[in-house]
Each structure stands twice: as C-alpha cells, then as structure tokens.
Amino acid sequence: MNTINIPSVLQELNIEQDNLAWSTGLTWGADADAESKTIYSPVDGKAIAKVSFANAENYDYVIKAAQKAFLSWRLLPAPKRGEIVRQFGEELRLKKQSLGSLVSYEMGKSLQEGLGEVQEMIDICDFAVGLSRQLYGLTMHSERARHRMYEQYHPLGVVGIISAFNFPVAVWAWNAALALVCGDVCIWKPSEKTPLTAIACQKIIAKILNDNGIEEGVSCLVIGDREIGSLMANDTRVPLVSATGSTRMGKAVGEAVGRRLGRSLLELGGNNAIIISEHADLNMALPGVVFGAVGTAGQRCTSTRRLIIHESVYEAFRAKLVSAYPQLRIGNPLNENNHVGPLIDKLAVENYLKAIEKAKAEGATLLIEGGVLSGNGYESGCYVKPVIFEASNHFEIVQHETFAPILYLMKYKTIDEALALQNGVPQGLSSAIMTTNLREAEKFLSHAGSDCGIANVNIGTSGAEIGGAFGGEKETGGGRESGSDAWKVYMRRQTNTINYGTDLPLAQGIKFDI
C-alpha cells in the first residue's frame, strides 16, 4: 500500500500548515481578523492545514497588482513569456510526485489520477511553449490598390480563473499557461475545498517569476468563497472570467460578466452517455464504461452517467456490469490497488444519498445497491458504493448531473433512437459510442449525431488530451479550453489596413471629394 508523509510533502512544496489567503507572487497576506477554514482530507478525515480567506479589500489589492504587472508583462516578447512557462513545466516535472500526492490526498482521487493531473499541467506547458512562437493572424487582399490588410492578436489584460475541486490544479494550468504566453496576467480563485494544491502551484510559479526578475502580479492567487467569485465576475477590470463548476454557478457568472459586456469561458456540468451498439466489442467497452462511471468516484464533469444499450446486447452487457461492480475495490486512493476513492465531503455524500432515493421514487430499478461505507479505513465518512439503476431518460434525476458514482442504464432499438436519448438532456459535454460499424460511427460524429463538444468512438467519455479543445454545448456553457485554437479567447483580435500609396481611395468605391 502506498502512503505519503503529509508533513514532508507540504515541506517539499513549501507550504506552511497555517497559510495566508492571497498572493501576488512572493508576497502573501491576510487580515488579522480574516475568516479561516481548516482543510480536511476526505481520505482519512484528518486536518491538513488552516487557510485564511481573502476579503474584498484583499481582492482589490491583488487586482491592482495584476493590472500594474500587465503593463510590463505584455511588452515581453511572446517567446520570452513562453520561456517562463517552460521553466514552470520543468519544475512541475521535478515536483510531480509530491504535487500529485497532495492532489490525491486533498481531493480524494486515486494517486494515479493525481499524478495524471500534474502530467496534464506539464503537457499544457509544453503546448503553450510552442504556441508562444505562433499566435498567428491572417493576411487578406484589399480591394484598394497599394493597400495591405492583416489581422493580429493582442493580450486582453487580467484573466480571472475560477476552478473546481475535482481538478484542483490542471484546469487552472490549462487557462494560465495559455493566458500567460498570450501576454495576459492571471488571478486564480481555486475551490475553497481544495486550496492547498493551489497554494503549492502559486509558490512554484511565483519563485520562477521572481528568479527571472518578473514583476509581482503576473500570477496571483485569491482564496475565498462565493463573494470573491462574485467580485471577479462583476469587475470591469477583469475582461475575461474562465469559470469551471456547476451549471448553476456558471449561469450566475455568465449573467454577471455578460451584464458588463465582458467575456466568459464556461466549463459547466456534464450528463455524459455511452451508446453500446449491437456491433460493439463488449469486452473492450466494459473497462471504458466502468472507469467512466466510477473513476474519481464519479466526480468528473466527463464521468459516464448514462448507458444507452442496444436491446440485442442489453442483457449480456448488463450481466458483465453487474459482475464487474462487486470486484471494485473502494478505499484509500493512495493505495494503487484500489479503484474508487472517497467523495469530496459529507455534503457530496448527502447529495449521493438523495439522488438514490429520488431515482427509486421516480421508478428506477436498482441493479447494484449503494450506501455509505464505515469502519476501518472509512473514518472520513466520505466513501460510498457505486450504484447502477435501470431508468428512463426522462426521469428528472436522470436529467440532472449528480457528482457521484451513479450509472443509469436504458435500452434502444435504432441508432436514431439512441442519438435522441444521448442528446435528450440539457447538458452537452462528452459522449461516446462503442461500435465496429463504420456507418454508425460516422453518423454519431456527423452534424446529425452527438450534440456534445466531445464525441468519441470506441473510447469512454473521460480522459481528454490537451491537444484538442475541451468543452461542451448547451448548459455545459459553450467554452473551449486547452488545445487547438482555444488560445484565441485569451486575446483580442484586431484588423489592420495599411495604405502605402499616394492617394486615399475609400472602400466600396465611395467617392468623397473635397
């Protein structure tokens, strides 16, 4: 069994166990009367550290520091900014084990997933370094003689990043690495449930910035509750707010940012389905379904929540699932032999239990029973059993996202019926089909197929790579992060026309003689 020495991990990451609330770099601060919160691990229920929450005055201090830093940071050539991000990626490589362990211990995901999350940070740094030598625009032919037209991209300014507990560091890195090479500065409000990993990351990047003589304020951290998020969403000094979390939260952020005509990048809830075709390789499909449903204890936005199975293979695949679930090992996520770790806290456990009762009340049939685990190794009270129901897609509980390992099974007859079920929810993040039929696969990926931002064939709904743009449609928010051309949201586009002639013709042939 793997174990970690928490004091030594915190020491390696330069974290004291009484931390301050905000940081503009190497400068940390908190008011003497600031509200503080003790952070407990869902793994064993033990206190890790005490963190002070920032107030409105602290937030304003950080914003002003970021605004000041932007004036010089934007003038640094993009490849030089990329070099800073490269150094950050290299330092993450050195601290991957300790940071991944802290992610696992503070959030509750398996150690392999914690290490994988740090690897995502390293990967996006590598991507951003290459991007720093591109940030390309286009040239266009002008209709006017001796004129040249082109477009270029400029940094926006201060980028606010609101991240969720389930990916406490990777999603921040997706945003920060791109924003920094684009010439923006960043203010990060992490989840109040997982602030220690954020503090660790801030300390790493702050030292790199300081060692390179970069002004404080390029990368800032503000730990706080909803008040800080609300301040950020309503602040005209923050032209872009990137927010990851629930649809409810995203609607509030989007409304506030939209009211001031700012930009919002929203990564919200998912209600992801896998279609199991009559042409599927059932043995290959099984691990993809099980990992998608129970990985991170069902607390990924890309977790598999619905399974749409062709009637001809329904009984066979249901039997495989019912046989597989009792073999799942639930326990300490630092033990790599375990498949399922804890939920994030007692509130998540309450929501899990409420969802089970609601599914029963709506008429769902229980196939694999759930419950909260207690006793030796389960002292935190956050460990639960993965659940399987047979249900209808129209059930209210099925239409909503529950951040827990609950899977709903349903049948279909035709591919069109399967697609209607797949798309028949308010969310549109990730989707998948298991099939060896080329026509089915292509239809699933066509404009008449999945309406999600992510659509996979013969892999599950979880496990996106950083090379592709990540995000979804409908109530998932429409934002795109990470790879492809997602960098453009962090910049403002400008069209330029240069007249190198001796007269001044107007466009569209308009005459204006004076």
Give the active site residues.
Answer: 267, 301
DSSP secondary structure of 96-133:
HHHHHHHHHHHH---HHHHHHHHHHHHHHHHHHHHHTT
Gap between the Cα atoms of 318 and 390, Å rounded? 10
Gap between the Cα atoms of 223 and 281, Å rounded? 47
Residue 350, phi then psi, degrees to nearest 5: -60, -45
- Encoding tokens for residue 156? 């926006």
Strands 473-474 and 158-162: unpaired
- Encoding tokens for residue 269? 């809830």
Gap between the Cα atoms of 44 and 410, Å rounded? 36
- Nearest in space to 289 (alpha carbons), one of 299, 279, 276: 276
Strands 18-19 and 47-52: parallel
DSSP 480: -
Residue 243, phi then psi, degrees to nearest 5: -125, 130
* Cα dihedral across residues 193, 196, 200, 206: positive or negative: positive
Gap between the Cα atoms of 428 and 426, Å rounded? 7
Residues in the chain: 514
Measured from the Cβ of residue 493, the count of other Cβ atoms closer than 10 Å reads: 11
- Encoding tokens for residue 472? 């979804």
DSSP 368: E
Gap between the Cα atoms of 409 and 390, Å rounded? 5
- Encoding tokens for residue 160? 């606010």
